[in-house]
Structure 1
Amino acid sequence: MKKWILAGLLLATLNTLGTAQTEEWVCKDQEAITAMERGAAERQLNFRSSALTDDYDIKYHRLEWNINPNNYYISGTVTTYFMPKEANFVALHFDLANTLQVNSVIFHGQEVETYSQSNNTLTINLPNSLSMAELDSVSVTYEGAPPSNGFGSFAQATHSGNPVLWTLSEPYGARDWWPCKQDLSDKIDSIDVLVRTPVAYKVASNGLLQEIIEDGNEHIYHWKHRYPIPAYLIAIAVTNYAEYSDFVPVENGAPIEVLNYVFPENLADAQQATTATVEIMQLFNELFGLYPFAEEKYGHAQFGWGGGMEHQTMSFMGGFSHLLQAHELAHQWFGNKVTCGSWQDIWLNEGFATYLEGLTYQYDLGPNTWNNWLSGKINHVTSAPDGSVFVYDTSSVSRIFSSRLSYSKGAMLLHMLRWKLGDEAFFQGVRNYVDAPELVFGYAKSEDLKGYLEAESGQDLTEFFDDWLYGQGYPSYQMRWFQEGSTLYVRLDQQTSHASVDFFEMPVPVRFLISGGIDTTIVFDHTFDGQQFAIEVPGNVGIVYFDPEQRIVSRNNSVTQGQFTNTEGALLEAVQVFPNPVQDKLNLSLPAGTTLEQARLYHANGQLLAQWAGTVRQLEVGQWPNGAYTVELQTNYGVVRRLVMKQ
């Protein structure tokens, strides 16, 4: 979800809402959310899920509502098919706001007399017990004015004098307007949504529109969705929409419809803007697999709020900027196909969606540039010295949806993983994660993503996740270097901005411009503070650029030239790599007492090409094209790097 909150404007009347938006954004106005949290303890923002709803699985909802966008009110009947998870099941519980009045409960065609409401819970005492895994159903008829909670879980406004009503249930708002099971563990297998409204209005919702039933001065819009869905992603929006469709071509498949419901006064601008979604979906299809709900549709429904919400198959949009379209579409893979299994892991939704915004810029879509986007995110993350991506306090909606931590730092965590693992392992690992049979159309935690990336890359990511996900802050680097003859000596020191992490282990790229027109990037495997490196170079080092492609979240870095104490330099300098230039086989020679732990070969651009175990003394390099390479030797005394020419 990408959200802009204008202070005090959650339910305010909107006179007009155009499609143009700046590409710079803030998820939410933190002061407005803080005030909202203080305002009413009854909102129970610390709600996770009720233990009372853990004893059954929901299979299906038939959601029948009466909505007039002129009125802040809902009435209708919700029929739920459920399956008990234990024997002798006698009481069914739903999350439902106390302010909504239940008029009747029907079970097996008979009205149930013994039901009660308290603590925002509807308790239905069944007339007879059910067996474990016995499919059954119950219908709840209710009405009322929903409480004003969260980000406006049930909200009403106007546009150009016309009423608009919408819902937005993330994270804890579904219970404000319908009897549900509000958790992050049990997805609903399928739903039908039927909304009765005056003929002047159209209804947007999840899935495919099956029919519009005419009934006097009213229409009933029937939407059907046949993919698993969590309660917070079910939504409706009602106003006098104008309607049109874009189509995304699919190689060897049917085009995917992008159905757009927009305010009539914005129709012309929207028709131009939403063509961006076509290109963006093509990119995401290529990188992460076909759009997960291709058998139904994707869509946009404009609503009276300054951001967006990724409702499954139909994102609600305050406007149609490139950035907002990319973010909400990305959620259909990351957040909807695979949903965070805890609000502590919200970055699995928001970090991915934010990073995919940036990828559109890297692939030359949209008005921004990749470098500018990276700079903006790094500056945002490092604007304060603390904060973890992992959400330790889920009682605060403002913390869950922290733009700096859950969005920007979550996105840059992925960017650093991509750098650490390499593009091939990163993208394949992410594809494996989002396609995993136990996760697809289900829920995931951070450790699930970690496991799939480790399996694909062969790297242990425990320390990385401890530092960058669970830990706080970021590093600042001080690089000092000097050259003696053909040997370049480098020392890397690091300070961290927060005491929770004493050191960030990272591969650190540095670009060197060397006499003779040599331009090479050397990656330093920085494993401890004050680490020293010795590198053979074929000329005089001129200019040094630290992390030139913005691979690492860091701040206040410095590069200085000058001597430093080099207690291990003699041993490191005695390491020999020959012949140089080389054609096929590169020999290694280490002085007595020096143990080789691992050898690596890097391209001049910093890309890791190959690695060998510490027992090797001859490296096969004949398969690589002619040019400059860096050989890195990890020893018990430190890291040695030699620049080698292949010819």
Structure 2
Amino acid sequence: MRSIALFFFLFPILFIAQNYNEELNDIVAFESSIAEKKIDFKASMSTANYDLKYHKLEFELDPSSSYIEGEITSHYVSNEDMSQIVFDLTDNMQVSGVYHLYSGASLDFTQNSDDELIIDLLQTQLAGVKDSLKVIYSGNPISSGFGSYEQDYHDGAPIIWTLSEPYGAKGWWPCKQDLNDKIDSIDVFITTPKFNSNNQENIAVSNGLEISQITIDQNKTTHFKHRYPIPAYLIAISVTNYLTYNHEVENNGSPFEIVNYVYPESYDSANESTLVTVDIMNFFTNIFEEYPFSDEKYGHAQFGWGGGMEHTTVSFMGGFSRGLIAHELAHQWFGNKITCGAWNDIWLNEGFATYLSGLVIESFDGAQDFNTWKQNRINSITSQPDGSVYINEDEPTSSRIFNGRLSYSKGALVLHMLRKELDDTLFFESLQNYLADPDFSYGYATSDEFIDSIEQTSQTDLTEFFNDWLYGEGYPTYNIEWSQPSENLVRIVTNQTQSHESVDFFESKVKLKLIGINGENSTITLDNTYNGQEFYQTVLFEVSDIEFDPYYDIISKNNEVTLSLVSVDMQNEVFVFPTPTTNKFKIIKPENLIIEFIDIYNTSGQHIIHTGYSEYIDVGEFSSGQYFIKLYSDQGLIFKPLLIK
């Protein structure tokens, strides 16, 4: 495992802290808006009977027109005996022919109003048999104004770009559009006029490694090869008069390129802004693992929206702020290498990308800016009293999937709380093992599978943690009472209320900062598992105040810390004798003081005994060590230390 202890100091790069709060809002607004027009699609049960192995995607288009012609060759294996195969394709796209690849035979097909392309096979195909076919089609993809397939202009130059998350791929090519079957590998061929009407060269971009550019007459065909499993929604193309430039990532002696495709009018500013991608790439590689597609490329392609989209190996970017660069790059691990198993689990994509953007702030800008980032996330999360990270809906809407407060911010802060629950070393080791797990790597994972993976590495039962913070709704409000009954002892009592009835108590590690009268301070962590829990903490100074959650590590709101009422007058009138003791002790007190009950705690705050008052208390069976006595009297609570030898 990589050393984690020093990773936050490995990148001494100075940046002006950005307003990531506004930036995240922009990312969420963008991703929600593009999904809004596509979310009505439901994965067809008709496509469940086969497993896609390979696509050859051949597109012919002119960026000055929305018209597209395509030939899609599909290799698949039948999951059951089947006489038909179904692809998703909007009914405005016209299929002109379907052919069995090996025999060349023409296959009968129909298109219906459910956006299905239904193809009759030559004969019943038995389960486990591999076969292939080609679909030839054309049309003008419907422009919703929210992506899928867009024709537009920038600075007078035409552009075509696609964006298919979550259900837009069927709008421009026949595909299997679901979250349970990644295509094992693809080749993409994009044929365009070599030059646009302004005599500027058209440059095409898609997933994977560019293999060739071949010009025949006035047309140019660009070939991209991608040899990793990929879902339909992450396949993308774009064509315009891009200028390209590269940044090299050393990658421990196996370098690869970050290829940037930008508008000519944006070249100077983009070239300056994208350089940080190398540093972010190195940072993510250090704390997780090598970039998952390093033998192909990573890159950015500028397009016509203000946000970004993490297409595998090439993120489409509306701008080049550091926060957006970090967010989209993070998705290459969390979203592309491992994809959420259902849209209900979208936090495994977006919560991770949001948190990794926060880690960039922590590493590059320091703890203070990271605390501000966490505070902003908490303020957003607690602006409403309800809402879980996991989407407890059978058919979630786009606004719920791409909910910035829950899927992004709360998902990110739950990951941060998990980090504090486990500690840095175990947290990052668990994520490394999750990314490397062959059950999920280049595939899918659900929330429950993620939890199982983390528990396996950490050897920690996290059932209660995730029930509260992932599946439960709302947040706690804490009331902390404290007193200093003796010079070197602080007593702390924790209570909480919950903003939503789905959680009866939020178990968490609570950090408190003890502040002394002369400026001394000490930060302690309490493992808070129930209301009214008492803790006893030894201190070396007189405490004047206690600060709750000083580093914004807990999702909570409206917390209070108060000094509790203790009988100060009687504190110095009551004595425990002898101390240290070996078997029993006597309580020496004024005659007018009535003591009703006695509790004894160890230094971990564990309750040892509860007993009525008697002149002598037997502790002969206690282990040696430091203890604390709480006396319930008619004049208030009294606390005394006890040492047993």
* TM-score normalised by the chain length of structure 1: 0.82
Q: Cα gap change, 1:408/1:518 in structure 2, threshold over 3 Å: closer, same or farther?
A: same
Question: Which residue does the alignment assign to 1:84?
Answer: 78
Q: How far apart are 1:276 and its partner, in Å?
A: 0.4
Question: Which residue does the alignment assign to 1:61?
Answer: 55
Question: Which residue does the alignment assign to 2:344?
Answer: 344
Contact 1:538-1:643 within 8 A present in 2 as well: no
Structure 2 residue aligned with 1:93, among 77, 83, 86? 86
Separation in structure 2 between the aligned mates of residue 167 and residue 264 of structure 1, nearest angstrom: 20
Separation in structure 2 between the aligned mates of residue 632 and residue 287 of structure 1, nearest angstrom: 42
Structure 2 residue aligned with 1:197, among 192, 196, 202? 192
Q: How far apart are 1:148 and its partner, in Å?
A: 3.4
Contact 1:361-1:368 within 8 A present in 2 as well: no
Question: Which residue does the alignment assign to 1:104?
Answer: 97
The amino acid across from 1:95 in the alignment is D
State the Cα deviation string for residues 380-415 of structure 1 (Å, max 9, x = none). Answer: 111221111112344411210111111111100100
Question: SS state of the match for residue 230, structure 2?
Answer: coil
Question: Which residue does the alignment assign to 1:146?
Answer: 141
Contact 2:535-2:605 within 8 A present in 1 as well: no
Question: SS state of the match for residue 141, structure 1?
Answer: strand
Query: Number of paired residues?
Result: 571
Q: How far apart are 1:475 and its partner, in Å?
A: 1.1
Separation in structure 1 between the aligned mates of residue 356 and residue 623 of structure 2, nearest angstrom: 42
Question: SS state of the match for residue 109, structure 1?
Answer: coil
Question: Which residue does the alignment assign to 1:126?
Answer: 121
Question: Which residue does the alignment assign to 2:587?
Answer: none
Say whether 1:212 aligns with 2:206. no
Contact 2:84-2:120 within 8 A present in 1 as well: yes
Separation in structure 2 between the aligned mates of residue 330 and residue 357 of structure 1, nearest angstrom: 8
Question: Which residue does the alignment assign to 2:166?
Answer: 171
Question: SS state of the match for residue 509, structure 2?
Answer: strand
Contact 1:535-1:643 within 8 A present in 2 as well: no
Q: Cα gap change, 1:173/1:407 in structure 2, threshold over 3 Å: closer, same or farther?
A: same
Contact 1:21-1:319 within 8 A present in 2 as well: no
Question: SS state of the match for residue 120, structure 2?
Answer: strand
Question: Which residue does the alignment assign to 2:356?
Answer: 356
The amino acid across from 1:157 in the alignment is D
Separation in structure 2 between the aligned mates of residue 592 and residue 562 of structure 1, nearest angstrom: 18
State the Cα deviation string for residues 76-106 of structure 1 (Å, max 9, x = none). Answer: 110000000113x210011111111111001
Q: Structure 2: where are the runs of 5+ without partners?
A: 1-16, 196-201, 582-596, 607-620, 631-638
Separation in structure 2 between the aligned mates of residue 618 and residue 297 of structure 1, nearest angstrom: 63
Separation in structure 2 between the aligned mates of residue 220 and residue 186 of structure 1, nearest angstrom: 29
Separation in structure 2 between the aligned mates of residue 550 and residue 491 of structure 1, nearest angstrom: 20
Question: Which residue does the alignment assign to 1:583?
Answer: none
Question: SS state of the match for residue 189, structure 2?
Answer: strand
Q: Cα gap change, 1:31/1:322 in structure 2, threshold over 3 Å: closer, same or farther?
A: closer
Q: How far apart are 1:68 and its partner, in Å?
A: 1.2
State the Cα deviation string for residues 576-608 of structure 1 (Å, max 9, x = none). Answer: 9999xxxxxxxxxxx9997989899xxxxxxxx
Question: Which residue does the alignment assign to 2:495?
Answer: 493
What are the residue-to-residue correspondences of 1:279-358 with 2, within 5 Å? 279-358=279-358
Separation in structure 1 between the aligned mates of residue 47 and residue 328 of structure 2, nearest angstrom: 30
Separation in structure 2 between the aligned mates of residue 333 and residue 439 of structure 1, nearest angstrom: 11
Question: Which residue does the alignment assign to 1:382?
Answer: 382
Q: How far apart are 1:530 and its partner, in Å?
A: 2.5
The amino acid across from 2:496 in the alignment is Q
Question: Which residue does the alignment assign to 2:45?
Answer: 51
What are the residue-to-residue correspondences of 1:496-515 with 2, within 5 Å? 496-514=498-516
The amino acid across from 1:379 in the alignment is N
Q: How far apart are 1:44 and its partner, in Å?
A: 6.5
Question: Which residue does the alignment assign to 1:229?
Answer: 230
State the Cα deviation string for residues 221-280 of structure 1 (Å, max 9, x = none). Answer: 1100001111110000111000110011122x2212100000011111111111100000
The amino acid across from 2:99 in the alignment is I
State the Cα deviation string for residues 273-314 of structure 1 (Å, max 9, x = none). Answer: 111000000000001100000111100000000000000000
Q: Cα gap change, 1:140/1:21 in structure 2, threshold over 3 Å: closer, same or farther?
A: farther
**Overall identity of the aligned pairs, in %:** 46
Structure 1 residue aligned with 2:533, among 522, 531, 534? 531
Q: Cα gap change, 1:131/1:523 in structure 2, threshold over 3 Å: closer, same or farther?
A: same
Contact 2:361-2:369 within 8 A present in 1 as well: yes
Question: Which residue does the alignment assign to 1:558?
Answer: 560
The amino acid across from 2:412 in the alignment is A
The amino acid across from 1:563 in the alignment is L
Q: How far apart are 1:175 and its partner, in Å?
A: 0.9
The amino acid across from 1:166 in the alignment is W
Contact 2:28-2:402 within 8 A present in 1 as well: no
Contact 2:35-2:167 within 8 A present in 1 as well: no
Question: SS state of the match for residue 420, structure 2?
Answer: helix
Separation in structure 1 between the aligned mates of residue 76 and residue 622 of structure 2, nearest angstrom: 61
Question: SS state of the match for residue 509, structure 1?
Answer: strand
Question: SS state of the match for residue 363, structure 1?
Answer: helix
Report the structure number with the largest CA radius of gyration.
2
Contact 1:149-1:173 within 8 A present in 2 as well: no
Contact 1:301-1:316 within 8 A present in 2 as well: yes
Contact 1:491-1:533 within 8 A present in 2 as well: yes
Question: Which residue does the alignment assign to 1:269?
Answer: 269
Separation in structure 1 between the aligned mates of residue 367 and residue 240 of structure 2, nearest angstrom: 31
Say whether 1:401 aligns with 2:396. no
Question: SS state of the match for residue 250, structure 2?
Answer: strand
Question: Which residue does the alignment assign to 1:11?
Answer: none
The amino acid across from 1:400 in the alignment is I
Question: Which residue does the alignment assign to 2:243?
Answer: 242
Contact 1:173-1:232 within 8 A present in 2 as well: yes
Q: Structure 1: where are the runs of 5+ without partners?
A: 1-19, 38-42, 580-590, 601-614, 620-630, 636-640
Contact 1:22-1:321 within 8 A present in 2 as well: no
The amino acid across from 1:75 in the alignment is E
Q: Cα gap change, 1:182/1:380 in structure 2, threshold over 3 Å: closer, same or farther?
A: same
Q: Cα gap change, 1:277/1:433 in structure 2, threshold over 3 Å: closer, same or farther?
A: same
* TM-score normalised by the chain length of structure 2: 0.82
Question: Which residue does the alignment assign to 2:468?
Answer: 467
Q: How far apart are 1:65 and its partner, in Å?
A: 0.5
Question: SS state of the match for residue 255, structure 2?
Answer: strand
Question: SS state of the match for residue 430, structure 2?
Answer: helix
Q: How far apart are 1:511 and its partner, in Å?
A: 0.9
What are the residue-to-residue correspondences of 1:532-547 with 2, within 5 Å? 532-547=534-549
Contact 2:35-2:146 within 8 A present in 1 as well: no
Root mean square deviation, CA, Å? 3.3
Contact 2:31-2:402 within 8 A present in 1 as well: no
Separation in structure 2 between the aligned mates of residue 388 and residue 258 of structure 1, nearest angstrom: 37
Q: How far apart are 1:536 and its partner, in Å?
A: 3.3
Contact 1:84-1:130 within 8 A present in 2 as well: yes
Q: How far apart are 1:163 and its partner, in Å?
A: 1.4
What are the residue-to-residue correspondences of 1:364-443 with 2, within 5 Å? 364=364, 369-393=369-393, 394-443=395-444
